[in-house]
Amino acid sequence: ELGADHVINGGEADVLNEIARITHGTGADAAIDCSGSPYAENNALDCVRAHGRVAFIGESRETTIKPSDQLIRKQITLIGSWYFPIHEYDEIADFIIKKELPVEKLVTHTFKLEEAERAFQLFDERKTEKAVFVWE
């Protein structure tokens, strides 16, 4: 629904095998983990090809990785990012509009601006996911 060419449900299929099948054994060029799940972060590192790129956006309290196998020998680039810089907002908004992406399907919580203190508290407690502020 959001424009993906392939969707893999990790509860129903082996993610690494499916990515290998889709890429004819090459591996993905890039992987982004937004969940913060240690399992998903390891899958992201394992599914990319040599010289691939991985971004961790979701926060994880602790993840154990295998640096030699997942980073060094594959020579991948791993970055962490918590947000998009403001100078990229126009490009992101244009992309969403041009592709007519139903981004409302990503929203898990909405708050009125007056509820900002509570919204940020819930975010800090990791009780929200994709929250937006709305006003009338």
Q: Which residues contact 57 (CB under 8 A, 6 or more apart)?
A: 32, 33, 34, 80, 81, 82
* Secondary structure (3-state) at 91: helix
H or E stretch at 124:
helix 116-124
- pLDDT digit string, tens, across residues 46-98: 999 999 999 999 888 899 999 999 999 999 999 998 777 788 889 989 998 99
* 32 CB neighbour count, 10 Å cutoff: 15
pTM: predicted TM-score of the whole model, two decimal places: 0.71
All structural domains of the chain, each given as residue ranges with its CATH number in brackets, are 1-101 (3.40.50.720), 103-136 (no CATH)
